[in-house]
A = this chain, B = another copy of it.
Amino acid sequence: MLEQMGKAARAASYKMALLSSLEKNRVLQRIADYLEAQAEQILTANEQDVAEARTNGLSEAMLDRLLLTPARLKGIADDVRQVCNLADPVGQVIDGGLLDSGLRLERRRVPLGVIGVIYEARPNVTVDVASLCLKTGNAAILRGGKETWRTNAATVKVIQQALVECGLPAAAVQAIESPDRALVNELLKMDRYVDMLIPRGGAGLHKLCREQSTIPVITGGIGVCHIVVDDTAEIEPALKIIVNAKTQRPSTCNTVETLLVHQGIADTFLPALSKQMAESGVTLHADEKSLPVLQNGPAEVLSVKAEEYDDEWLSLHLNVKVVADLDEAIEHIRDHGTQHSDAILTRTLRNANRFVNEVDSSAVYVNASTRFTDGAQFGLGAEVAVSTQKLHARGPMGLEALTTYKWIGFGDDTVRA
């Protein structure tokens, strides 16, 4: 079955690559309209998914993530309309010129071809990813979380109807509808038909893809993010940034998980931190040096375990470690970070520069919250994933990350000397 899907996606990708922005926006517009007009079949499928998930004992928080409502579906449709407004990178000439050989060479941006996306049980991702792939002239093979397979199937049906009515191949957007896990392993080997694989999910999925996929993979989305509180930081602004980075939306990958506090400021900073964290409902996990001070403060505090430096809390918990200097802070980030987002709070220009140059993460910040690492915040308009690897795309991936380029050489019966 997957072999057939792959072939159909490849054939569709050749057609999609030739579309103008106008043609691509026309189908996106129609998809948005149909998501509203045909809401009923999607919502009915979603009801079944949610009912089954409830039977299977999913938490209320998880159930809420699965749930679609007419209002949420309208929001998703509006997001598709937003994608129409984004600039289309396809066709852009990156560079070019006349070579000494007489060859006129240009590098032109083109779609990647077929993009495979494996994602969590979030119904909105199906539409998000499909619309971004379509906007960039790609075909997509989608594999959403098994808890929402009925919702995804109904959604893709609506997308395919819009495609066909616009004279485009339905296979430009396909979903693997079976909840069978073995199909994921099969998808990972389809390098003949799939040009790029984006896993969105936990560390386990990323590991599976890194180890098993024969398709180039973009991994990311795991964020053990740090904030360094330098000895020249100012306490009030530092706390404001920490509160934002920890509590604004704790379940996200750009949330701070560990504070590295310069020993020169620890005595004054830690009591203030405890007070603020108590107000914000954050539990602290303190190292040997900070524990005695923090135990005197109002915030809940536990002794940090070594392995907690290497994991995301994704909740109102925060590690605190006192470091001797910036060297130790940078070394800690190199050893325990995930190259996602890290920040320094400092008033010292030299330390700001050192941090920016020496911390090898997708996004590094000076006196700003780690929460900014996001496609919309970065002005990319949309985001298909956050990459923490270094090839192809790093950090928030916008439309450009769904393209590649080709070299085009125009000769006048030109040969190599």
List residues of A whose CB falls within 8 A of some B CB. 14, 17-18, 97, 99, 101, 103, 105, 110, 112-113, 191, 195-196, 210-211, 214, 216-218, 234, 237, 240-241, 244-245, 248, 334, 356-358, 360-369, 371-373, 377-379, 389-392, 394-396, 404-416
Q: How long is the Cα–Cα vector from A362 to B107 in the complex, in angstroms?
A: 10
Which of A361, A368, A389 neighbours the largest number of chain B CB atoms within 10 Å of its CB? Answer: A368
Q: How long is the Cα–Cα vector from A315 to B263 in the complex, in angstroms?
A: 68
Q: Point out the residue from B358, B362, B368, B408 that lies within 8 Å of A415, measured CB to CB.
A: B368
Q: How many monomers of this chain does the complex have? A: 2
Q: How long is the Cα–Cα vector from A17 to B361 in the complex, in angstroms?
A: 13
Are B368 and A241 touching (Cβ within 8 A)? no
Are B390 and A394 touching (Cβ within 8 A)? no
Classify the secondary structure of A's interface with B. Answer: mixed
Asked, given contacts A389-B216, A407-B364, whether A369 binds B240 with beta carbons under 8 Å apart, the answer is: no
Asked, given contacts A357-B18, A407-B394, whether A101 binds B367 with beta carbons under 8 Å apart, the answer is: no
Q: How long is the Cα–Cα vector from A240 to B413 in the complex, in angstroms?
A: 8
Asked, given contacts A14-B334, A113-B360, A377-B101, whether A240 binds B407 with beta carbons under 8 Å apart, the answer is: no
Chain B residue with Cβ nearest A196: B391
Q: Point out the residue from B216, B357, B366 that lies within 8 Å of A411, measured CB to CB.
A: B366
Are B360 and A14 touching (Cβ within 8 A)? yes
Asked, given contacts A14-B360, A389-B216, A391-B392, whether A99 binds B377 with beta carbons under 8 Å apart, the answer is: yes
Q: How long is the Cα–Cα vector from A14 to B331 in the complex, in angstroms?
A: 11
Q: How long is the Cα–Cα vector from A334 to B405 in the complex, in angstroms?
A: 17
Can you identify 22 A-B contacts, CB atoms within 8 angstroms? A17-B357, A17-B358, A17-B360, A99-B379, A105-B372, A112-B390, A113-B360, A195-B391, A216-B390, A244-B416, A248-B416, A364-B408, A367-B412, A368-B410, A368-B414, A369-B415, A369-B416, A371-B416, A392-B392, A394-B404, A394-B405, A394-B407
Q: How long is the Cα–Cα vector from A242 to B371 in the complex, in angstroms?
A: 57
Are B356 and A408 touching (Cβ within 8 A)? yes
Are A366 and B101 touching (Cβ within 8 A)? no
Q: How long is the Cα–Cα vector from A214 to B356 in the complex, in angstroms?
A: 28
Are B406 and A364 touching (Cβ within 8 A)? yes
How far is the CB of A101 from the nearest CB of chain B, in Å? Answer: 7
